[in-house]
Amino acid sequence: MADQNMHENPQQRELLRVCRIGRAQGMKGEVTVQVFTDEPEWRFEPGSELFSRNGEQRYVVERSRTFKNRWIIKLEGCDDRNASEALNGTELYGEADDPEDMLEADEWYPKDLIGLEARMDEENEIGAPAGKPIGTVVDVIDSPAQSLLKIRLTEPVETGTASDGTPIVEKTTLVPFVDELVPLIDLEEGYLTLDPPGGLIPGL
pLDDT tens digit sequence for 8-33: 443 445 778 899 999 999 999 999 99
Higher-confidence position of 173 and 160: 173
Number of H helices, E strands in the chain: 4, 13
DSSP assignments along 51-111, one per residue: E-TTS-EEEEEEEEEEETTEEEEEETT--SHHHHHHTTT-EEEEEPPPHHHHHHTT---HH
Q: What is the pLDDT of residue 180?
A: 92
pLDDT tens column, 24-82? 999 999 999 999 887 899 899 999 999 998 888 999 999 999 998 899 999 999 999 99
Residue of 169, 119, 174 whose CA lies nearest to 142: 174
Q: Is the pLDDT of residue 167 over 60?
A: yes
Do 84 and 25 touch, CB atoms closer than 8 A?
yes
Residue of 179, 53, 185, 180 whose CA lies nearest to 115: 185
Q: Is the pLDDT of residue 105 over 80?
A: no
Q: What is the pLDDT of residue 100?
A: 59
Q: What is the pLDDT of residue 195?
A: 96
Average pLDDT on 139-150 reads 80
